[in-house]
Chain A
Amino acid sequence: MVSESLIEIEGLNFSYGQRPILKGINMTMERGKVIAIMGGSGSGKTTLLRLIGGALSPTSGYVKVAGEVVHKLKRDELFRMRRKMSMLFQFGALFTDLSVFDNVAFQMREHTDLPESMIRDLVLMKLQAVGLRGAHELMPGQLSGGMARRVALARSIALDPLLIMYDEPFTGLDPISLTVIGNLIRRLTDALGMTSIVVTHDVQESLKIVDYVYFIADGVIAAHGTPDEVRRSVAPFVHQFVHGEEDGPVSFHYPASPYAQDLKLEGGFA
């Protein structure tokens, strides 16, 4: 199977007002792979996803998905492109007024003219893939965190997209659900020939399932490589992140004036 790049990012800069979030990002993501984007909180990972999805426009540089520059697309072209993409939000973002079944069926009903009988079969199949076919009549409020995320995953693959973006899929899950989600991401990517981008800071789970890793720190790519390369890396930032060290390039202390001065010990009292 020939792997070509589904996503090309070149010279991407994004600032929120005066504050630069991403500086000069260059990335290539191949079809059919699971790619992880890792970094500390607030490093711009979610912003990167939004730029790929066209929800934000870059200050300079571009993002190309399947050969088309995203921010130059017109509204209906963008909508057409979005039907080939899916995003899995951090807490699922299920529609709380619809049942599990209706949530998964949502895109099918909105974008296709399929008859209800066919939709029913498709929805049940998607739910079966994530192991929740029996829960199709429940409401989102009745689901646990892990179950909600699995339903959201079923919803994301409803129209067999080319690309799925996962925003922190491992956050707040118990060990069982962690493995379940991790395996689902890998299995579905391989089975459907999709590309998956996983934004996370859960190193252990993601290194088990991904094909390539990018590290973002301070708005630039600090490091990238395959999981094995990353595990063996001696670059300080990567090392600190992968081994979960308390102090290193990402310092423990928030910038502050000297400790003694704060406690008024130096330049003492008369």
Chain B
Amino acid sequence: MPRRIVTGIQCVRHRVIDSIWRLGYATRFFLLTLIKSGTSLRRFTLVIRELYFTGVQSLIIILVSGLFVGMVLGLQGFETLQRYGAESAVGTMVALSLLRELGPVVSALLFASRAGSAITAEIGLMKATEQLAAMEMMAVDPIARVVAPRFWAGVISMPLLAALFSAIGVYGGYLVAVILIGVDEGSFWSQMQSAVDFHYDVVNGIIKTCVFGIAVTAIAVFEGYDAAPTAEGVSGATTRTVVTSSLAILGLDFILTSFMFRGMG
């Protein structure tokens, strides 16, 4: 019996050391990507191409989800606030929930599943079909040419997508609360405007989004580059991207929220 416990502990210890080793490797890879970003700046066409595949092609899912989230917030918000006679505050509720939390977090999660996994799969497949090795043999650095443009495209897309998510979410809340239910339009917008502070809510939301964008894209790019060059390797890597990104988003959200929203004054 004790022998099994010892083996179990050894197994856990190996796993932990492996994870730490992998984390170190990932950090080194991240720094390498940043250092070799010169090509992405000089040949911005590469970044634009990736912006199309990560940003533009995520638009549909972001916009549709944003609309529905906003509409649900409007419905639920109205239902609860109505009990306290505070229905006109539904605009405030929708806007603040979206700007501070739901906008950055949900759009980041959607981005990780759609664009993050796509990036991982693409880089992993390029590795499996020896395209990256071929590039190295042609004296072209694959990190500069393949990895860095995708990284910057993700970092640029993320805040834009989150802003679109929040904006269309607010509109969704407006549709439900004002058009469908009949809350007063004037008080909907005016209460929202007086309650939402640019520096406090909008800017903090943008900061969160930028942090999430960096985290998600860095994870996606690393998992792709590190994937085993087989079918199982690539599929495992894409799964890991989605899972690790989601956990990272939620964890970072907690850390950032506790820094930013400690209470005014």
Q: A residues touching B (Cβ–Cβ < 8 Å)?
A: 53, 55, 79-80, 82-83, 85-87, 89-91, 93-96, 106-107, 110-111
Contacts and interface: CB of A to CB of B under 8 A. Distances in A.
B129 interface: yes
Interface string B108-146: 000000000000000000100111011111111000000
B134 A89 contact: yes
Contact of B138 (A55, A80, A91, A106): A106
B133 A55 contact: yes
Looking at chain B's contact residues, the main secondary structure is helix
A95 B130 CA distance: 9
A93 B139 contact: no
A93 B134 contact: yes
B137 A111 contact: no
16 contacts: A53-B137, A55-B136, A79-B139, A82-B136, A85-B137, A87-B134, A87-B137, A89-B130, A89-B134, A91-B130, A93-B130, A96-B131, A106-B138, A106-B140, A110-B138, A110-B140
Contacts, number: 43
B130 A82 contact: no
Given A82-B139, A87-B134, A110-B139, 7 more contacts: A82-B138, A87-B137, A90-B130, A94-B131, A95-B131, A106-B140, A110-B138
Contact of B137 (A86, A91, A96): A86
Contacts of B136: 55, 82
Contacts of B129: 91, 93, 96
B133 A83 contact: no
Nearest to A106: B138
* Interface core residue of A80, A86, A95 (most chain B CB under 10 Å): A95
A149 to B, nearest CB: 13
A82 B137 contact: yes
Contacts of B134: 87, 89, 93, 95
Nearest to B132: A93
Interface of B: 126, 129-131, 133-140
B138 to A, nearest CB: 5
A160 B137 CA distance: 14
Contact of B133 (A80, A93, A95, A107): A93
Contacts of A82: 136-139
B131 to A, nearest CB: 5
Contacts of A86: 137-138
Contacts of B139: 79-80, 82-83, 110-111
Contacts of A53: 137
A110 B39 CA distance: 11
Nearest to A84: B139
A175 B135 CA distance: 30
A70 B3 CA distance: 49
Contacts of A80: 139
A78 to B, nearest CB: 8
A82 B136 CA distance: 9
A114 B147 CA distance: 26
B136 to A, nearest CB: 7
A95 B133 CA distance: 11
A204 to B, nearest CB: 26
A93 B135 CA distance: 9
A93 B140 CA distance: 14
B203 to A, nearest CB: 37
Contact of A107 (B130, B131, B138): B138
Contacts of B137: 53, 55, 82, 85-87
A133 to B, nearest CB: 22
B153 to A, nearest CB: 14
Contacts of A85: 137
B207 to A, nearest CB: 34
Q: Which of A85, A89, A91 neighbours the largest number of chain B CB atoms within 10 Å of its CB? A: A89
Contacts of A94: 131
Contacts of B130: 89-91, 93
A90 B131 CA distance: 11
A95 to B, nearest CB: 6
Contacts of A91: 129-130
The 3 A-B pairs of least Cβ separation, nearest first, read: A79-B139, A93-B134, A93-B130
